[in-house]
Amino acid sequence: MSVELKVPSVGESVTEVQVGGWLVQPGQRVERDQVVVVIETDKATVEIPAPVAGVVASIAKTSGMKVRVGEVLGLMEEAGVPATKAAAPAGRSGVGMPTPSDAAGVGTTKVMPAAARVLADGGVAANSVAPSGPGGRVTKEDALRAVAGRAAPAAPAERAGVGSSAAGADGRPTETVPMSPLRRTVARRLVEAQATAALLTTFNEIDMGAVMELRRQHGDGFKEKHGVKLGFTSFFAKAIVEAIAAVPALNAQVAAGGESILYHHYCDLGIAVGGGKGLVVPVIRNVERLSFAEIERVVADFGARAQSGKLALDELQGGTFTLSNGGVYGSLLSTPIVNPPQSGVLGLHAIQERPVARDGLVVIRPMMYAALTYDHRIVDGREAVTFLKRIKECVESPARVLLDA
């Protein structure tokens, strides 16, 4: 009995997705609820499990193809004899599908979605990779190592399911690869922000010594008690809440019609994190109500699930203010762009020991540049500077947050 693998509904406003990669090949037997294919929306990666135990009969939509909700991705034969391997759709090579010899045991190998895409692009079979992730899963790092260790990586022309190769004007090879849904959405929203908002950035520098000393003194006890590390994010989240109380316009937005301002009497803080498919911004709801430990738990959970594409769509929507930390990648200074319709984003950067003046003396202190980009339509310069100065005060003297001083 043939069973169709269809694109499920992944959100009210989502009508089209992109096939991220197949974890199986035609003729392979799979168990019920085993993940067989991964699809990508503009915000998240979604795993599609086998609806029945049986054999993958054919694959209709290969990696990189755009499909609509309800379309058939492939066919399965329920608990049947392996079907004859179907040819890939015309003009597509079925990229990322291992050969029959490579596929042995693939059905029992657990592969994270981000790793699946790397293996598919590199033409490496999942069962040939030593897993290091929880539950014996192959992680993206495992996949990258495996692909890097290949003696002869696939040429662009061999990867027709991902992009198309051609010769440039000077005859040298080039390759065109379609943007992922996430990247297309990021591009659209960044252009929208630049075109519709009056963006301006103000800068300051923060002495991180007090926070670093607190982490040194209480970090071990904090982790032992709460089961999570005491990071910098919770300090800045608390400082943002304090600064918003002083300057509410940074937690507001231009209302529909453009002639009024909508103020939020709560703070849903977006935290920019690097995911398996790129930057995503999950939202901490009502961050003003959370303790340091609760904030750190949420951030750690977001980071882990972003890497494996497990964030839910509703976790990536909304937000009244955004925190972005380019310092984790080594950025010294940058100008972040607001996430519409928000009016502000705080960008953090790398901590460096620099000479600064203290009480008439030159001393070495761990300093960080902070950047606040704001929508000048509803936030004036005085308010922006006041907001960032309040952030600086709270971080340089954390007791202010605890004492409400």
133 CB-near residues (< 8 Å, 6+ apart): 110, 112, 139, 142
C-alpha–C-alpha distance, residues 249 and 264, integer Å: 9
Catalytic sites, residue numbers: 376, 380
Specify whether the CB–CB gap between 239 and 394 falls below 8 A: yes
- SS3 at position 249: helix
Helix axis angle for 233-246 and 292-307, nearest 10°, is 120
Q: What single-letter DSSP state applies at residue 353?
A: E
d(CA 263, CA 267): 10
SS3 at position 95: coil
DSSP string, 116-135: HHHHHHHT--GGGS---SGG
313, 314, 296, 292: which is closest to 304 by C-alpha? 296
Question: What are the DSSP calls for 112-180, one per residue?
Answer: -HHHHHHHHHHT--GGGS---SGGGEEPHHHHHHHHHT-SSPPPGGG-TTT-EEEE-TTS-EEEE-PPP
Amino acid making up residue 273: V
Which helix (H) or strand (E) is 46 found in, with range? strand 45-49
Q: Of 373, 385, 304, 366, whose CA–CA distance to 342 is shortest?
A: 373
Q: Is residue 124 packed enough to be buried (19+ CB in 10 Å), middle (13-18) or exposed (0-12)?
A: buried
Q: Which two tokens stand for residue 133?
A: 């992730």
Is residue 252 within 8 Å of residue 263, measured between CB atoms? yes
Rounded-to-integer distance, Cα 364 and Cα 262, Å = 44
Closest CA to 74 of 124, 12, 30, 127: 30
